[in-house]
Amino acid sequence: MSHKILLTSREVNIILHRLACQLIEKHLDFSNTVLIGIQPRGGFVAQRIKAILEKEYNVPGIQLGNLDITFFRDDFRRTEKIIEANKTEIDFIVENKKVVFIDDVLYTGRSIRAALTAIQSFGRPAEIELMVLIDRRFSRHLPIQPDYRGRQVDAINGEKVKVSWTENEGEDTVYII
């Protein structure tokens, strides 16, 4: 299997800073905005964005949660593989808040559809936005588009986009496989 580097660690860092700046431009005051990483891999992006906002741009009190969508997916019963759920960690109310879903790769849009259903268990947000590191724009099954995107990728359906994070794979790199 051939690996082609799409983004280096330096490029990932630049993109994360740009995405954080776009959030600041849109939200300014984060008192009514919450960040929610879509488990499992969106949690890494969300944590990084929160850290950049707090440390680099002195944005205080950002609320961050992680949302597991495993049992809200429309395909979770279509495999013989045993399903392993992730952990939802949302210790705040989303009622009337501006919610920013954060994920690593937007592919078919089915994960986002599941997240839209799952978040309703925590209240009714005032609005929901979507931030992704990688947008595979020609692979959508549902009419879902990101509000914030790091990089658009025109990958052929047989190709995969793999995002590696220092926290679990020892490097920040994006590959096309």
3-state secondary structure of 140: coil
pLDDT for the residue numbered 77: 56
Separation CA 74–CA 86 (nearest Å): 17
pLDDT for the residue numbered 73: 67
Give which of 52, 5, 9, 43 is closest to 172, Cα–Cα: 9
Tens of pLDDT, residue by residue, the chain (177 residues): 578 999 999 999 999 999 999 999 999 889 999 999 998 889 999 999 999 999 999 999 999 999 999 877 666 555 666 666 678 899 999 999 999 999 999 999 999 999 999 999 999 999 999 999 999 988 888 999 999 999 999 877 688 899 999 988 889 999 998
Q: State whether the Cα torsion 79-101-153-5 is positive or negative.
A: negative
What does pTM read for this prediction? 0.92
Give which of 80, 87, 149 is closest to 118, Cα–Cα: 87
Residue 162 β-bridge partners: 175
Give which of 145, 99, 144, 147 is closest to 121, Cα–Cα: 99
CA 2 to chain CA centroid, Å, is 26
pLDDT for the residue numbered 168: 84
Q: Cβ contacts of residue 145 below 8 Å, gap of 6+?
A: 130
